[in-house]
Amino acid sequence: MRNDPIKYFFIWPALFVVLAISIFPLIYSLTTSFMSFRLVPPSPPRFNGLDNYVSLLTNPRFWHVTVTTSIIAFTSVAIQYVIGFAVALALHAKVPGEKLFRVGFLLPMLIAPVAVALIARQIFNPTQGPLNQFMTFLGFPNLPFLTETHWAIGALITVEVWQWTPFIILMLLAGLATLPDDVYEAASLENASPWRQFWDITFPMMLPISAAVVFIRLIESYKIIDTVFVLTGGGPGISTETLTLFAYQEGFKKFNLGYTSALSFLFLIVITVIGVVYLAILKPYLAKHR
Partner 1 sequence: MRKLLLGATAMAALSLASGAALACDPDYTGVTLTAASQTGPYIASALQSAGEEWAKKTCGKVNVVEFPWSELYPKIVTSLSSGEETFDVISFAPAWSPDFTDFLSEVPEAMRKGAAWDDIAPIYREQLMVWNGKTLSQTIDGDVHTYTYRIDLFEDPKEKEAFKAKYGYDLAVPQDWKQYLDIAEFFTRPDKGLWGTAEAYRRGGQQFWFFFSHAASYTNIPGQKGAMFFNPETMDAEINNPGWVRGLEEYVKSAKLAPPNALNFSFGEVNAAVAGGQVAQSIGWGDTGVIAADPKQSKISGNVGSAVLPGSNEIYDYKTKEWKKFDHIVKSPFMAFGGWQAAVPASSKNQEAAWNYIEFLSSPEVSGKAAITGGTGVNPYRISHTTNLDLWSKLFSPREAKEYLGAQADSLAAENVVLDMRLPGYFSYTEVVEIELSKALAGEESAQEALDNVAKEWNRLTDEFGRDKQLAAYRAAMGLPAK
The footprint of partner 1 (CB under 8 A) covers 38-42, 121, 125-129, 142, 144, 146-149, 229, 232-239, 249, 252-256
CB 252 within 8 A of CB 21: no
Nearer to partner 1, 192 or 238 (CB): 238
Side-chain-side CA neighbours of 189 within 13 Å: the count stands at: 6
Nearer to partner 1, 229 or 267 (CB): 229
Peptide bond between residue 41 and the one before it cis (omega within 30 degrees of 0)? yes
Nearer to partner 1, 121 or 217 (CB): 121
In the DSSP assignment, the letter for residue 201 is I
Return d(Cα 119, Cα 271) in angstroms, integer: 29
Nearer to partner 1, 61 or 102 (CB): 61
Per-residue buried b or exposed e for 246-259, using 16+ beta carbons within 10 Å of the residue's own CB: bbbbbbeeeebbbb
Closest approach, Cβ 68 to partner 1, in A, equals: 14
Per-residue buried b or exposed e for 151-186, using 16+ beta carbons within 10 Å of the residue's own CB: ebbebbbbbbbbbbbbbbbbbbbebbeeeeeeeeee
- CA dist list (Å): 248 to 5, 176, 267: 47, 40, 13
Closest approach, Cβ 249 to partner 1, in A, equals: 6
CB 211 within 8 A of CB 275: no
Return d(Cα 114, Cα 233) in angstroms, integer: 13
Nearer to partner 1, 29 or 239 (CB): 239
Nearer to partner 1, 180 or 233 (CB): 233
Nearer to partner 1, 155 or 161 (CB): 155
Closest approach, Cβ 78 to partner 1, in A, equals: 27
Closest approach, Cβ 33 to partner 1, in A, equals: 18
Return d(Cα 237, Cα 215) in angstroms, integer: 30
Return d(Cα 7, Cα 271) in angstroms, integer: 37
Closest approach, Cβ 116 to partner 1, in A, equals: 17
Closest approach, Cβ 256 to partner 1, in A, equals: 7
Closest approach, Cβ 236 to partner 1, in A, equals: 3
